[in-house]
């Protein structure tokens, strides 16, 4: 057996985290930091599909690898929570397995997680009548052609996900697999519902009927009330059209998996069932009858500081729960805060987990997207002394931490709006005809809005804020910190004195201000979208960290590319297609930015994003314009591998990166700028959709990217380009 090492090379144990339903091919190629001499045949064995790979590992001579989970129990320093240990010795393996099963049983007994809601004092509905596991099974998140792995749900010729019948043996086998690969999420485990035999029912419409009550819609789907045919109980179903541009199976599965991880939390909307048919995905959720937060406040026309406190606490505890599990929501906005009850503003729950990012441990990410664990201060252009702290975080350290702070910033904005009825940052321009305040687009206003966010300057106007407690204002100011380092995290929010005890029952002007200042919600929406885009840029930047890889790592990872001994070039089929960046792009970018070589960014980013930086340029291996150029033109093209937030994507094509770039500069041989292509300084819903889709998907969202790509490609072919640099609004 090969020696696999990542993280704990001295340990003779292989760990599979509780939600890592990885197959061996993923394990060896993508999920491990380094793999040495892995026998090829191992790649064909899928852990999730039975015992084959398991057996292989077990019977192999001496596995020397720990694929550690990101979820560790505090008291089990070397054992992923809920995971299993596969040891070189069979006896130990079985002992571990027994121990694991015992833990599972204990976890199921422990029902503490389904606690009553603090804010209402009522026991929370448990929805235990439905067991999501029998629908979810285990997913393989990294494979486009995802298969259901366990539980009763499974795909049937691409038509049906729900509990299809299999023979009893299958059931037994799947059950044991699921034990080997336990589900993530809360501390209890719902026993599996045995599957019905010979059931012909397998689709959403066999279990639910749609009503005509539309609950909302977003970029990916519409949410409607549906009723259980059996019980008549109402649920909300998000229907995502598979034909839609933004459809992404992987995205849906990621959302479902994150829902699973968040199972049972009283302030996160619960997913109850999940279906797929030829045309749609159906995500059946508990119905939030109170509607979106601001709409609820508006309709009620009455809102107090104490209610704002409760809502804040609910959101903060949802965020803490997610953040503790390595998940950042990344789309915290009033539309995604839903009220449970039509008559009470709290409890609220967070919905829309489709942008949430779950970071896998570093060694499980694609090697090309690996981030250094610490800055390489010795690097000639490492220039760590120039790096702002958040840059270090974003590029080098804990990117999740960075995402988490975006969530708490967003909570700060929501809190400000809840207390005042308008957003802390608003756009304004000199044009009296501008329709911004009526919801029409205005470039200048939007620019102004972004600048205000960047400045991080806001006020507490006496008229509305005079009546609000100092504690509430203090919490707002702790959240709206421009510097993420100074910004409160979820733990600090929950410990803040304003949340510790009841607040004043002061009646706020929020509802009336929400009516008169219609732009508030839109401003928040814009800010949220802006942040989300910036977050994705951060993801992209993270994956640009080639410099921590060895050249041979890169070459082998690029598949057909071969590594040339001098370390300078990568080529494919003998044809030069690029140089490999030797320098740290972060350092370069910051130095250039300091010397004024780059024009200032068009729209400097949110307070949550790092200073200007430069990304390496993506090159598509199959169809790159650079590939077709001669060796003389090799110049300093850089390779780039934009990865998703999961860090697991393959190398992508240039348009992906171009889409992200506010500007791209093309240089000639003498370093003259041949062209500077300005990208749209603001992103539209269309951009957002494209960004979203590229993040998790290959096949969609190309329309917008194509437009930009065509533009740039023509320069590639018409000009002797020697260098391409991109500047990011960060």
> Which residues are near ligand ATP by CB under 6 A?
215-221, 223, 236, 238, 269, 285-288, 292, 331, 335-336, 338, 351-352, 354
The distance of closest approach from Cβ of residue 247 to ligand ATP in the complex, given in angstroms and rounded to an integer, is: 11
Please give the Cα distance from 572 to 145 (Å, whole number): 28
Nearer to ligand ATP, 53 or 223 (CB): 223
The distance of closest approach from Cβ of residue 689 to ligand ATP in the complex, given in angstroms and rounded to an integer, is: 9
CA 397 to chain centre: 17
Nearer to ligand ATP, 246 or 369 (CB): 246
Nearer to ligand ATP, 234 or 553 (CB): 234
Q: Which residues are catalytic?
A: 331
Q: Which of 273, 319, 287 is nearest to 133 (CA)?
A: 273
The answer to whether 174 and 78 are in contact (CB under 8 A) is no
CA 87 to chain centre: 32
Please give the Cα distance from 292 to 339 (Å, whole number): 6
Q: Which of 384, 315, 367, 328 is nearest to 536 (CA)?
A: 328
Nearer to ligand ATP, 220 or 546 (CB): 220
Nearer to ligand ATP, 44 or 217 (CB): 217
Q: Which of 508, 311, 295 is nearest to 419 (CA)?
A: 508
Q: What is the largest CA-CA distance in the chain?
A: 79
The answer to whether 391 and 586 are in contact (CB under 8 A) is yes
Please give the Cα distance from 498 to 419 (Å, whole number): 13
Task: Supply the DSSP symbol for 16.
Answer: E
Task: Supply the DSSP symbol for 405.
Answer: H
Q: H/E/C letters for each residue in 418-475? A: HHHCCCCCCCCCCCCCCCHHHCCCCHHHHHHHHHHHHHCCCCCCHHHHCCCCHHHHHH
C-alpha angle 82-355-683 in degrees, rounded to nearest 5: 160
Nearer to ligand ATP, 269 or 605 (CB): 269
Instruction: Tokens for 519, please give them.
Output: 């732009």
Instruction: Tokens for 128, please give them.
Output: 């235990």
Q: Which of 253, 290, 259 is nearest to 272 (CA)?
A: 259
The distance of closest approach from Cβ of residue 680 to ligand ATP in the complex, given in angstroms and rounded to an integer, is: 19
The H-or-E segment that residue 556 falls in is helix 551-557
Nearer to ligand ATP, 287 or 652 (CB): 287
Residue 212 CB partners (closer than 8 Å, separation 6+): 224
The distance of closest approach from Cβ of residue 422 to ligand ATP in the complex, given in angstroms and rounded to an integer, is: 20
The distance of closest approach from Cβ of residue 529 to ligand ATP in the complex, given in angstroms and rounded to an integer, is: 9
Nearer to ligand ATP, 235 or 409 (CB): 235
Please give the Cα distance from 678 to 685 (Å, whole number): 19
Give one DSSP letter per residue of 253-278, joined into a string: HHHHHHHHHTTT-TTBPPEEEEEE-S
Please give the Cα distance from 448 to 461 (Å, whole number): 20
The distance of closest approach from Cβ of residue 219 to ligand ATP in the complex, given in angstroms and rounded to an integer, is: 3
Nearer to ligand ATP, 138 or 335 (CB): 335
- Mapping DSSP to helix (H, G, I), strand (E, B) and coil, where does residue 282 land? strand
Q: Which residues are 341's β-sheet partners?
A: 344
333 is an annotated ligand-binding site residue: no
C-alpha angle 408-325-283 in degrees, rounded to nearest 5: 90
Give one DSSP letter per residue of 344-363, joined into a string: EEEEEEE---TT-EEPPPGG
- Alpha helices (H) along 290-380: 293-300, 305-324
Nearer to ligand ATP, 97 or 219 (CB): 219
The distance of closest approach from Cβ of residue 533 to ligand ATP in the complex, given in angstroms and rounded to an integer, is: 13
Question: Other CB atoms closer than 10 Å to residue 344's CB: what's the count?
Answer: 16
The answer to whether 191 and 108 are in contact (CB under 8 A) is yes
Instruction: Tokens for 569, please give them.
Output: 């070039």
Q: Which of 286, 295, 239, 240 is nearest to 267 (CA)?
A: 286
Nearer to ligand ATP, 332 or 499 (CB): 332
The distance of closest approach from Cβ of residue 412 to ligand ATP in the complex, given in angstroms and rounded to an integer, is: 19
With tokens 């992987």, the residue in question is 250
Q: Which of 611, 438, 607, 463 is nearest to 523 (CA)?
A: 438
The distance of closest approach from Cβ of residue 409 to ligand ATP in the complex, given in angstroms and rounded to an integer, is: 17
The distance of closest approach from Cβ of residue 575 to ligand ATP in the complex, given in angstroms and rounded to an integer, is: 42
Please give the Cα distance from 304 to 472 (Å, whole number): 12
User: Crossing angle of helices 519-543/399-420, nearest 10°?
Assistant: 180
- Alpha helices (H) along 392-461: 399-420, 443-455
Please give the Cα distance from 332 to 149 (Å, whole number): 31
Order the strands of the 234-241 sheet from edge to edge.
208-217, 222-228, 234-241, 280-286, 271-276
The distance of closest approach from Cβ of residue 221 to ligand ATP in the complex, given in angstroms and rounded to an integer, is: 5
Q: Name the residue with the smallest CB distance to ligand ATP.
A: 218
- Annotated binding residues for ATP, written as ranges, equal 238
- Annotated binding residues, written as ranges, equal 238
């Amino acid at each position: 057996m090969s020696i696999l090492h990542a993280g704990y090379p001295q340990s003779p144990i292989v760990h599979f985290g509780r939600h890592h339903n990885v197959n061996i091919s993923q394990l060896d190629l993508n999920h491990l930091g380094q793999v040495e001499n892995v026998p090829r045949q191992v790649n064909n064995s899928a852990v999730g599909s039975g015992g084959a790979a398991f057996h292989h590992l077990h019977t192999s001579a001496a596995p020397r690898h720990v694929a550690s989970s990101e979820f560790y129990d505090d008291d089990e320093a070397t054992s992923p929570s809920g995971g299993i240990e596969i040891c070189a010795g069979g006896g130990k393996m079985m002992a571990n397995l027994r121990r694991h099963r015992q833990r599972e049983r204990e976890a199921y007994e422990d029902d503490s997680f389904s606690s009553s809601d603090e804010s209402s004092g009522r026991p929370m509905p448990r929805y235990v009548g439905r067991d999501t596991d029998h629908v979810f099974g285990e997913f393989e998140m990294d494979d486009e052609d995802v298969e259901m792995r366990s539980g009763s749900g499974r795909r049937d010729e691409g038509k049906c996900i729900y509990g299809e019948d299999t023979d009893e043996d299958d059931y037994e086998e799947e059950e044991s697999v699921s034990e080997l690969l336990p589900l993530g999420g809360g501390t209890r485990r719902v026993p599996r519902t045995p599957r019905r035999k010979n059931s012909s029912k397998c689709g959403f419409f066999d279990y639910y009927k749609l009503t005509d009550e539309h609950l909302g819609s977003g970029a990916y789907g519409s949410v409607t009330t549906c009723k259980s045919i059996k019980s008549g109980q109402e649920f909300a179903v998000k229907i995502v059209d598979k034909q839609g541009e933004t459809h992404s199976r992987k995205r849906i599965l990621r959302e479902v998996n994150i829902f699973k991880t968040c199972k049972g939390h009283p302030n996160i909307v619960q997913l109850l069932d999940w279906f797929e048919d030829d045309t749609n995905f159906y995500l059946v959720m508990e119905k939030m009858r109170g509607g979106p937060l601001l709409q609820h406040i508006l309709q009620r026309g009455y809102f107090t500081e104490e209610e704002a406190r409760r809502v804040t606490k609910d959101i903060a505890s949802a965020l803490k729960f997610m953040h503790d599990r390595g998940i950042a929501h990344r789309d915290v906005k009033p539309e995604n805060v839903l009220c449970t009850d039509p008559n009470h503003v709290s409890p609220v729950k967070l919905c829309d987990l489709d942008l949430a990012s779950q970071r896998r441990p570093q060694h499980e990410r694609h090697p090309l997207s690996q981030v250094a664990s610490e800055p390489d201060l010795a690097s000639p252009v490492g220039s760590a002394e120039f790096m702002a702290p958040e840059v270090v975080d974003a590029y080098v350290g804990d990117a999740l931490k960075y995402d988490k702070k975006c969530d708490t910033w967003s909570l700060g904005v929501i809190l400000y709006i809840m207390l005042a009825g308008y957003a802390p940052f608003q756009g304004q321009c000199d044009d009296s005809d501008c329709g911004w305040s009526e919801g029409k687009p205005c470039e200048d206003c939007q620019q102004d809005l972004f600048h205000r966010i960047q400045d991080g300057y806001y006020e507490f106007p006496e008229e509305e804020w005079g009546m609000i407690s100092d504690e509430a204002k203090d919490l707002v100011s702790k959240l709206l910190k421009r510097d993420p380092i100074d910004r409160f995290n979820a733990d600090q929010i929950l410990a803040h004195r304003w949340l510790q005890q009841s607040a004043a029952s002061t009646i706020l002007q929020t509802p009336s201000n929400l009516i008169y200042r219609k732009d508030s919600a839109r401003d928040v929406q814009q800010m949220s979208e802006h942040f989300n885009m910036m977050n994705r840029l951060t993801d992209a930047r993270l994956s640009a960290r080639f410099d921590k890889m060895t050249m041979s790592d890169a070459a082998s990872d690029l598949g057909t590319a071969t590594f040339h001994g001098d370390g300078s070039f990568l080529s494919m089929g003998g044809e030069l297609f690029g140089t490999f960046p030797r320098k740290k792009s972060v350092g370069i970018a910051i130095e250039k930015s300091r010397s004024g070589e780059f024009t200032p960014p068009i729209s400097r980013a949110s307070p949550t994003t790092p200073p200007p930086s430069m990304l390496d340029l993506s090159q598509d291996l199959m169809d790159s314009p650079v590939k077709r150029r001669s060796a003389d033109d090799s110049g300093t093209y850089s390779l780039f591998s934009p990865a998703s937030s999961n860090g697991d994507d393959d190398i992508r094509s240039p348009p992906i990166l171009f889409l992200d770039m506010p500007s791209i500069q093309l240089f000639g041989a003498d370093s003259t700028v041949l062209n500077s292509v300005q990208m749209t300084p603001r992103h539209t819903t269309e951009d957002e959709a494209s960004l979203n889709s590229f993040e998790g998907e290959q096949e969609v969202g190309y329309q917008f990217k194509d437009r930009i790509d065509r533009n740039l490609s023509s320069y590639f072919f018409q000009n002797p380009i020697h260098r391409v640099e991109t500047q990011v609004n960060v």
